[in-house]
Amino acid sequence: MEPARTTPAPRRRRLSLAVAALATAATALAGTTLSANAAVPPPPAGWSLVWSDDFTGAANTLPASANWIIDTGTSYPGGPPNWGTGEIQTYTNSTANVAHDGAGNLRITPLQNASGGWTSGRIETVRSNFKPSSGGVLAIEGRIQMPNVTGAEALGYWPAFWALGSPYRGNYQNWPGIGEFDVMENVNGINSVWGVLHCGVAPGGPCNEFNGIGASRACPGATCQSAFHTYRFEWDTSVSPQQLRWYVDGQLFHTVTQSQVGEPYWTQMTGHGGYFLLLNVAMGGGFPNGVAGFTTPTASTVPGRSMLVDYVAVYSRGGTPPTTPPPGGTVDAYGTIQAEAFNAQSGVIVEACSEGGQNIGAVRNGDWVRFDNVEFGSTPPRDFVARVASGAAGGVSGLVEVRIDSPTATPIGSFAIANTGGWQSWRPVPGNVGAVTGRHTVYLTFTSGQPANFVNVNWFTFRH
């Protein structure tokens, strides 16, 4: 059962922030740039490329499942309805809504069907551990053209490029404490980019939720809608107090400091395993409605105007990694650990997952998967959560267990799972775990009193 609409959720807005948008609306400027860059720009001196996607796939193909999860429906399973923002569209994995355009861009397109319903696209990175090293700087950047639509025809359009704290995955009730960085938001075809931080508690708190701490400005030169612009967010731990900075085409327009947020909220927002990135075009909801002063979209809104994404890249500069990684690197216990990214296994298969990417399947009694060099740090977890699905027959169930350093060690935690409605009907299930710190080999083991398959696993994580 989904929680009531009062549950805090990402990217909610009240009218006070939205009204500020009216002052930033500007007359459309001449010029249209539709071409993609030849490649992700090389990092400037002193910076390193951490991760990127240049969206060079063939026309009408989905974004790479190794990089992206495609969100579908009107909420996360167990999360607030309408994605917590009041938006009205249904997200799909159809190439009509989200696909490469064959010219080096990702195309996200809202559409309206014959009965008036809206569909669109929303994707999020598989990786959820983007954060700066101690004393370093992390930059999240995208070159994007907003949907090229303005005026009455644009009412309800809500394109965005943003990041959410990794502990949100599988929980969906811990926003805004886990943090949200809105690198680029726009509504109703206004020539303006908003940069917003969400943090702390809601309502109120240090980030004035549900508004967030935001600023906006017109896009330099050509309008946001008529041309590509480069939107960039930097998280700088090399200065004291630390800073969060927002740019458009290299021009700084918003800064939030560590002292503005304060404790314990800054540490809650920055002390976890990192962030995952999202791209989407919503229709309607609190932000566009607040700016318009009425419900959007309207009968005047036209479907089919795409947000185009040339590339997304993450860069880093300076800093000292917290540990020297052993061969093969470390795995953050508090980030999202993809089940198919095991170092060894017994009995399981890897298959395509309906949520994007892959999952492990055909899991039955006695099977296990092993994950090396999992770092828990000095603070033990309070529990773990796994995203699982089951199409097991009636009466067939089993345990998903966590063991440390040996597949035959006593489990430090477990939960029971039976049929969830199908082998791709996913849900997050939590289980308590005993205290564990430092770096360990982690085994997921599977125990059942029946010989039949009883569970598939997409990913799992530990939580403080």
**What residues does each domain of the chain span?**
15-320, 331-463
Q: Specify burial of residue 159 (Cβ count, 10 A radius: 0-12, 13-18, 19+).
A: buried
Tell which residue, 130, 169, 107, has the closest CA to residue 50. Answer: 130
Task: Name beta bridge partners: 53.
Answer: 312
Model confidence at 3, in pLDDT bands (50, 70, 90)? very low
Lowest mean pLDDT among 4-8, 59-63, 181-185: 4-8
pLDDT of residue 144: 98
Q: Specify burial of residue 297 (Cβ count, 10 A radius: 0-12, 13-18, 19+).
A: buried
Is the fold of 15-320 the same as that of 331-463? yes
Residue 8, pLDDT above cutoff 90? no
Q: Which residues of 38-56 are buried (b: 16+ CB within 10 A; e: fewer)?
A: eebeebeeeeeebbbbbbb
Model confidence at 349, in pLDDT bands (50, 70, 90)? confident
The DSSP code for 322 is S
Q: What is the pLDDT of residues 394-407, one digit of tens each?
A: 999 999 999 999 99
Question: Rounded to 5, what percent of the chain is helix, strand, coil?
Answer: 10, 40, 50
Q: What is the pLDDT of residues 99-148, one digit of tens each?
A: 999 999 999 999 999 999 999 999 999 888 899 988 999 999 999 999 99
The average pLDDT across 329-340 equals 87
Q: Is beta strand 368-375 parallel, antiparallel or unpaired with respect to 331-332? A: parallel
> Please, which residues have CB within 8 angstroms of residue 257's CB and are 6 or more apart in sequence?
241, 242, 243, 244
Across all residues in the chain, what is the average pLDDT? 89
Residue 329, pLDDT above cutoff 70? no
The C-alpha torsion from 243 through 249 and 251 to 255, rounded to 10°, is -30
Could you tell me the CATH superfamily of domain 331-463? Galactose-binding domain-like (2.60.120.260)
Lowest mean pLDDT among 26-30, 235-239, 411-415: 26-30
Report, at the CATH architecture level, how domain 15-320 is classified. Answer: Sandwich (2.60)
pLDDT of residue 35: 67
Residue 152 φ/ψ, nearest 5 degrees: -60, -30
pLDDT of residue 38: 59
